[in-house]
Amino acid sequence: MLLQISGVSKSFGAVHALSGVDFGVRAGEIHALAGENGAGKSTLMNIIDGILQPDDGRILIDGKPVKIASPTEAQRLGIGFVHQEIALCDDVSVAENIFMSATNISKSFLMDYAGQRRKAGQVLARLCDIDPATRAGDLSISSQQLVEIAKALTLDCRILILDEPTAALTEKEAQLLFGIMRKLREQGIAIIYISHRMVEIFDNCDRVTVFRDGRHIVTHDVADIGPDDVVNAMVGRKIETLYPDKLTDPATDTLLSVRGLGDGARIHDVSFDLRRGEILGIAGLIGSGRSEIVKGICGLEPAPEGEIVLAGKTLRRDEYRDAIGDGMVYLSEDRKGDGVFLEMSIASNISALRPEQVAGRFGLIDRKREFAQAEALGKRLNLKCGSLWDPVSSLSGGNQQKVAIAKMLSVDPRIIFLDEPTRGVDVGAKAEIHRILRQLASEGVGIVVISSELPELIGLCDRALVVREGRISGVVAGDEMTEENIMHLASVMDAERVTANEKVGQ
């Protein structure tokens, strides 16, 4: 065993994140680690990377006990870690971000800057065509994730930890990453791969370990078991992962009507209706303008062209505050950037959109009311936390996502726009979120979901708009809602362009 974890425990106050966990990884294997949100996966990885110290237990590398006091120490031991949350320095270039981590472990006093930079460029080129000189903060989330991966790959590690690396990637980017993982496996590198997507685990990994409530439940060769076994081990009970029933009898009245929406740059002439009771999906490639359309409707980004009519009333579109006043809320795909306030408590986050709802005398926040609201919504979403007064930063990734959703539900919205709502959410909670969305739709709330995960879009939505280069290229519903149809509508222009270029080249 290259890496052996033995009897590791870790508590945060009353929360037992890990209880006597054993976990071993061999050289040259891709070992999946699965478990519900809050099962302790990231906590164990933080211990292996020296960010956290275990309360108990041992870590052995090549059979020898090691003490990993810091991430620098972990790097020296050959451990590379791609964190669940992206944490690039926004203000410096991609190249600097990538080789920043490598500089401090250079063995000589003289730093080979040029060499490092070249290497950064080479590693990055294996994954994507991002210009290393770009300011990191200007990149899309998926590109930032690729930079994080490139950063770890430059370290020449023996053990590579990938904590939900594909949550923000496109399918194509994910496939590239899997190709690289297979090459690293051939070189004898041990890879720990954390994901909530069963397909990824079963297509790419050799073994899978399941954690539940901070305990090791099973480790199996992937060949010996099926996705259902993993899900059952994760949740410890049978769960309903089927999508909720679709709308059988669509209402004819329109809740939201968008006509000719445009910003003169990234979105053009967008028109569609959202009917009462339906869940409308928005599909499209990353960068196609899906989020811009929704942000334009909510007034989060300027979209001066066109008209938006909500339940018969034409909307002004100057401020987000107005959108909330009108009953429209938006769940950003960038949870850390503008979904939640990480250092604020869970309860205060949930009440943040409309604090007056929980205000007491003199307009001050009534903590009891704030708590009651958070408790009710937390229960509804099956939120796992120590106390509702803990900061959101103390929650596992998927539970942070639930807080972001609870925050939106707190204002009793008429329309909810959700951008990648179940990214990083475990299978059980994901099904739960789908059920809640369907329930809200049946109560008359308009639901618009942007998702890059086509099975989710097809399984959940009654209809889907497909966006291509800032325009709606098609609307699919019923039997026509297939991955092929959506992909075709989302990308056919690119194909045309390729043919055109090829023709020019002839």
Ligand X SMILES: Nc1ncnc2c1ncn2[C@@H]1O[C@H](COP(=O)(O)OP(=O)(O)OP(=O)(O)O)[C@@H](O)[C@H]1O
Residues that bind ligand X (CB under 6 A): 12, 15, 17, 35, 37-43, 84, 384-386, 394-399, 426
Q: 244 is written with which tokens?
A: 């909720």
Q: Which one of 34-42, 153-161, 248-256, 497-505 is the stretch in contact with Mg ion (CB under 5 A)?
A: 34-42
Which one of ligand X, Mg ion, none is in contact with 15 (Cβ closer than 5 to 8 A by kind)?
A: ligand X
Q: How far is the CB of 35 from ligand X (least distance, A)?
A: 5
Minimum distance between the CB of residue 164 and ligand X, rounded to whole angstroms? 7
DSSP string, 74-94: HHHTTEEEE-SS----TTSBH
Task: Return the range that interacts with Mg ion (CB under 5 A); candidates 40-48, 141-149, 225-233, 324-332.
Answer: 40-48
Position of minimal CB gap to Mg ion? 42
Of 210 and 466, CB closest to ligand X = 210
Between 121 and 397, name the residue whose CB sits nearer to Mg ion: 397
Residue 391: DSSP 8-state: B
Helix (H, G, I), strand (E, B) or coil at 451: coil
Residue 43 touches which member of ligand X, Mg ion, none, C-beta under 5-8 Å by kind? ligand X
d(CA 103, CA 108): 10
Least Å from the CB of residue 213 to ligand X: 9
Tokens of 285: 């490639």
Q: Which residue's structure tokens are 């903590």?
A: 367
| 433 burial level (CB within 10 Å; 0-12, 13-18, 19+) | buried
The residue range among 76-84, 295-303, 387-395, 425-433 that interacts with Mg ion, by the rule CB under 5 A, is 76-84
Which residue type occupies 33?
L
Q: Is 357 exposed, middle or buried (0-12, 13-18, 19+ CB in 10 A)?
A: middle
**Is the CB of 4 or the CB of 42 nearer to Mg ion?**
42
Instruction: Quote the DSSP letter at residue 169.
Output: S
Q: What is the nearest approach in angstroms of Mg ion to the Cβ of residue 396?
A: 5
Apex CA 402: angle with CA 396 and CA 405, to 5°?
Answer: 150
| Touching Mg ion, residues 369-428 (CB under 5 A) | 396-397
- Select from 83-91, 123-131, 137-145, 368-376 the region that touches Mg ion (CB under 5 A): 83-91
Residue nearer to Mg ion on the CB measure, 21 or 449: 21
Distance in Å, CB of 52 to ligand X, minimum: 8
Per DSSP, the three-state class of 398 is helix
Cβ closer to ligand X: 277 or 398?
A: 398
Query: How far is it, in rounded angstroms, from Cα 444 to Cα 327?
Result: 12
The least CB distance from residue 207 to ligand X, in Å, is 18
Q: Closest separation between CB of residue 210 and ligand X, Å? A: 11
- 412 Cβ partners below 8 Å, 6+ apart? 327
Q: Which does 96 bind (CB under 5 to 8 A by kind): Mg ion, ligand X, none?
A: none
What are the tokens at 137?
A: 């903060």
For ligand X, the closer of residues 274 and 385 by Cβ is: 385
Cβ proximity to ligand X: between 8 and 472 the closer is 8
* Percent composition of the chain: helix, strand, coil (DSSP 3-state, to 5): 40, 25, 35
Nearer to Mg ion by Cβ, of 427 and 458: the residue is 427
Which among ligand X, Mg ion, none contacts residue 39 (Cβ within 5 to 8 A by kind)? ligand X
Residue 397 or residue 446: which is nearer to Mg ion going by CB? 397
Shorter beta-carbon distance to Mg ion: residue 150 or 425: 425
The amino acid present at 185, given as its one-letter code, is R
**CB count in 10 Å sphere of residue 187:** 9
383, 386, 388, 393 alpha-carbon torsion, rounded to 10° = -80
In the bound complex, what is the minimum distance in angstroms from residue 358's beta carbon to ligand X? 23
In the list ligand X, Mg ion, none, the entry touching 35 (Cβ below 5 to 8 angstroms by class) is: ligand X
- Cβ atoms of 465 and 282 within 8 Å: the answer is yes
Of 42-50, 63-71, 361-369, 436-444, which part binds Mg ion (CB under 5 A)? Answer: 42-50
Q: Indicate the DSSP class of residue 107.
A: S
262 binds, among Mg ion, ligand X, none (CB under 5 to 8 A by kind): none
Q: How far apart are CB 172 and ligand X at their closest, in Å?
A: 24
Binds Mg ion (CB under 5 A): choice among 19, 42, 142, 204: 42
How many Cβ atoms from other residues are within 10 Å of residue 170's Cβ? Answer: 15
Q: If contact means CB under 5 to 8 A according to the sort of partner, which of Mg ion, ligand X, none does residue 195 touch?
A: none
SS3 36: coil
In 187-311, where does DSSP find H-type helix?
A: 198-204, 227-235, 290-298
> To the nearest whole angstrom, how small is the minimum distance from the Cβ of residue 197 to ligand X?
12
Q: Which value, to the nearest 10 degrees, does the dihedral of the CA atoms of residues 193, 227, 26, 148 take? A: -10
Q: Are 128 and 173 in contact (CB under 8 A)?
A: yes
- Which of the listed partners (ligand X, Mg ion, none) does 113 bind, with a CB threshold of 5 to 8 Å by partner kind? none
Instruction: Give the DSSP per-residue string, 117-157.
Output: HHHHHHHHHHH----TTSBGGGS-HHHHHHHHHHHHHTT--
Q: Determine the interface stretch with Mg ion among 20-28, 81-89, 282-290, 384-392 (rule: CB under 5 A).
A: 81-89
Output the smallest distance, CB 379 to Mg ion, in A. Answer: 22
CB of 307 to ligand X, least distance (A): 41
Going by C-alpha positions, the residue among 370, 344, 37, 364 that lies closest to residue 211 is 37
State the binding partner of 40 from Mg ion, ligand X, none, CB within 5 to 8 A by kind. Answer: ligand X
Contacts to Mg ion by CB under 5 A? 42, 84, 396-397
